[in-house]
Amino acid sequence: MSEGSLSKSGASKKREKPAKKPARGGSGRDRKSGDKRERILSAAVKVFAKSGFFDARVSDVAKAAGVADGTIYLYFTSKEHLLVSLFEDRVDKLLAFIETDLAKIGSAKDKLRRVIEVQLGLLEEERDLAEVITVIIRQSSKVLKEFATPKFTSYLDTIARVVAEGQAAGELRTDVSPSLVARATFGALDGVTFTWALGRAEEGALSRAASQVADILLRGLSPSLHEK
């Protein structure tokens, strides 16, 4: 699995207030390189994963990012907005990646297997992010209900659509609701990630899990013998 990191990625799309984006010559990319926003987000993933959203103090994130407390508020309007932005920035990339990837694949079964591989594969590379996505995002009622749910719903819809296509093509059993399958599938992956992130988080465990989960799910979704 080498889809590449979800963080430290290219240009940051949205920024609230500052137009900023300082010079950034070709020289020293090190000290004070300027990508404050990204540094803050990376720090936030670490700090939130460690302490949870509420127990994490904004000043902890600032310290981890190597900026002053107030600097965070130049890029994010509130602590909650920091969490939302984290989600936007990272989950959007995950979702975009998956959708692009699925377009290249023909069969619904292969698509489902790919969803499983990608979701688990990417999160295995970034354990802290996995914890943020599976645990932390549920901590702020506001973020969860107003922000995460819609985005999450659109992800579930993507999966449900694959299932429906597979049913139409005769690849998958038709006696189950695509939307329910999407929710159960996502939940299964989330459950596996969740216990992995909370536990010892063994190397390669998620990738190995991916193939077994896919095996079970695809057999479970295959048409019955006499349906064929």
Partner DNA sequence: AATGAATGAGAGTTCATTCAT
Partner DNA sequence: GATGAATGAACTCTCATTCAT
| Closest alpha carbon to 134 in 199, 187, 71 | 187
From CA 209, how far away is CA 151, in angstroms rounded? Answer: 25
Q: Does 33 bind DNA (CB under 7 A)?
A: yes
Residue whose CB is less far from its own copies, 38 or 94: 94
Among 79, 109, 113, 114, binds DNA (CB under 7 A): 79
Residue whose CB is less far from its own copies, 38 or 178: 178
Residue whose CB is less far from DNA, 68 or 96: 68
Among 8, 20, 138, 208, binds DNA (CB under 7 A): 20
Q: Does 11 bind DNA (CB under 7 A)?
A: no
Four-CA torsion 9, 15, 19, 23, nearest 10 degrees: -10
- Please give the size of the binding site for DNA, defined by CB under 7 A: 23
What is the Rg, in whole angstroms, of the alpha carbon atoms belonging to the chain? 20
Torsional sign, CA 101, 107, 111, 117: negative
53, 140 in Cβ contact below 8 A?
A: yes
Q: Does 185 bind its own copies (CB under 8 A)?
A: yes
Q: Does 221 bind its own copies (CB under 8 A)?
A: yes
| Closest alpha carbon to 7 in 103, 100, 133 | 133
The residue ranges that bind DNA (CB under 7 A) are 18-20, 22-23, 33-34, 36, 55-59, 67-71, 73-74, 78-80
